[in-house]
Amino acid sequence: MVQPVLQFSHTLLQQSVSHGEIVIDATCGNGNDTLFLSKLVGDTGKVYAFDIQQQAIYQTQQLLADHKRNNTILIQDSHANMQAHIGNQEIAGAIFNLGYLPKGDKTIITKKDVTISAVTAILRQLKHGGHVVLVVYYGHPGGKEEKAGLLHFAAELDQKHYHVLKYEFINQQNNPPFVLAIQKR
């Protein structure tokens, strides 16, 4: 069945992440992906969730509390500094939801170079078979630069080591988001 973009991003992680593992939400925003990951790794696993905005950390904290989830470490910092927080632990999977915080400040957006450096850092510690999944929104100012930079970066990854997939609806109007998925072989 053809899945909507957000559902497909979760399906990839569902297929490759097990209970007890460590995963990353690189852009927690309103916390929807964090909650999904928290359930996916179960009480024995751990989620590291990053966002630069206090509002996002607060919203995510509330959502997790509403669902009585307590296996997540919320970090108000850039995902570019991720290694300082997680050390050299193996990562089972990660998700990035790019762009701006829905219902938030539309000028605070993810940026090409920062996103690429965070993805590069995660790939070093990603388990074999694990995915870094990016949901790429690019309709906002600055979005097209990030999209172009990421596609260039991802297309250059060595196919001996990574499967790289773009999942996109090509008949939708108004810059629909797409999934860019990188799986470590």
Q: List residues binding ligand SAM (CB under 6 A).
A: 27-30, 32-33, 50-53, 56, 78-80, 97, 99, 101, 108, 110, 114
Q: Which residue from 52, 9, 62, 7 is spatially nearest to 31, judged by alpha carbons?
A: 62
User: Whole-number minimum distance, CB 9 to ligand SAM, in Å?
Assistant: 10
If the CB atoms of residues 79 and 147 are measured against ligand SAM, the closer one turns out to be: 79
Say how far apart CA 169 and CA 175 lie, in whole Å.
Answer: 10
Residues contacting 78, CB < 8 A, separation 6+: 50, 52, 114, 118
If the CB atoms of residues 16 and 27 are measured against ligand SAM, the closer one turns out to be: 27
If the CB atoms of residues 72 and 110 are measured against ligand SAM, the closer one turns out to be: 110
User: Whole-number minimum distance, CB 159 to ligand SAM, in Å?
Assistant: 28
User: Whole-number minimum distance, CB 161 to ligand SAM, in Å?
Assistant: 25
| Cβ-contact 185, 161 below 8 angstroms | yes
If the CB atoms of residues 50 and 163 are measured against ligand SAM, the closer one turns out to be: 50
| Cβ-contact 181, 138 below 8 angstroms | no
